[in-house]
Each structure stands twice: as structure tokens, then as C-alpha cells.
Amino acid sequence: MTKVLILGATGSIARVATKLFLNETDVELTLYARTARRLGPVDAARVRIIEGDVLDAATLTDAMAGQDVVYANLAGDLVAMARSVVDAMHAAGVRRLVWISSMGIYGEVPGERYRRVLDPYRDSAAVIEASDLDWTILRPGWFTDDDDVTYETTRKGEPFRGHDISRMSLATLVVRLATTPGLVIRESLGVNTPV
């Protein structure tokens, strides 16, 4: 049975992904959050909760023990967090990482220049890309609450298409990546609703 560690488990995408993992797969989940009480009730048979900060190396490395996949859905000091995640994965011997970033980090959105607001996303993605892990970086557009699952992807170096993506679509892609060995390894994907 695949074991998936979700970092930033109280985030809006992570909450949708958690429901999908539990409803559509047989994975065992570990939810990692700074404030665990915000997660609400969980299925204790399939879900373990760890309260901690991603920058706490000891707690993070312990949380990664025995995991198959790490899905990082983080906000804050993203560069330091990326370094902490990479180091902890090396220490725990975990290779598969799905990292949520943002559209625009490579200047790939036609007609848009996002400048400094994306520096943490761009720099943290560079940390992940420089690692030897089996990473996939997802660069979603603006989130919507639509329940539809319709998305398209673009590769690094290709122009981003559209601006929006439903949380449900992005979470569906995260679950696919986490449960399909070898799918989209060491690639950065833009993710948007087809226009």
C-alpha cells in the first residue's frame, strides 16, 4: 500500500486531495500541519496526523520515515522549506516529490510579468530542480471552486494557456501523480483549464 505524506495539509488544494485519496485510492495518508486541530476529524484507520513546521528538520525527517511519496502544498518561506524538504527526503530515503508552485515563475504566461511576487516560487522550484529527487513541479493558474475535472498541462519552456484551474482538477492530478509510479518525473508542468 502506497504511503503519502501531505505537507501543508490544511491548504485548500491539500484538503481536496485528501478527500480524493481517501475516496478513490487505498493509500495511507500522513497529514503534516502546523496547526493540526484545523484538520478536523479524520479516518484514524488510514490517516495519521503530525503537527509540525516544515522547517523543523527532526520532526519532518521522522514524518518521512517509511513514506513513498511526499506532496508539498506549502506557503511561507518557500526557499527554506524547499531546502528542508529535500534534505529530509534524503535523510529518510524518500525519492518521489510532488511540489506545488505557481504559473508565471519562468515568465511563461504570455503578456504577463509577475516580477518579485513570484521570486519565492521561482527560487524554491530551482532548489527542487537542482535535487536528484524524482520530482514533479506543478504550476497552477488561479484557483476556482468549480467541481469539474478538466485540465491541460504545458511543459517548462512552453507558453502557459489560460489563467484558471479548479482545485478539484489540480487535486485530481496530484492524486494521479502520487499513485502512478514513474508518471511525469523531473518535469515542471503548467496546469490550467482549457480555453
Task: Give residue-wise pLDDT tens across range 115-156.
Answer: 788 999 999 999 999 999 999 999 999 999 999 999 999 999
Q: Is 146 exposed, middle or buried (0-12, 13-18, 19+ CB in 10 A)?
A: middle
pLDDT tier at 40, thresholds 50, 70, 90: confident
Q: Which long-range contacts (CB under 8 A, 24 or more apart) does 43-51 make?
A: 46/22, 47/18, 47/22, 49/9
pLDDT tier at 44, thresholds 50, 70, 90: confident
Mean pLDDT of 7-35: 97
- Residues with Cβ within 8 Å of residue 177, at least 6 apart in sequence: 98, 136, 183, 184
pLDDT for position 179: 98
Q: Dihedrals φ, ψ of 10, to 5°? A: -90, -5
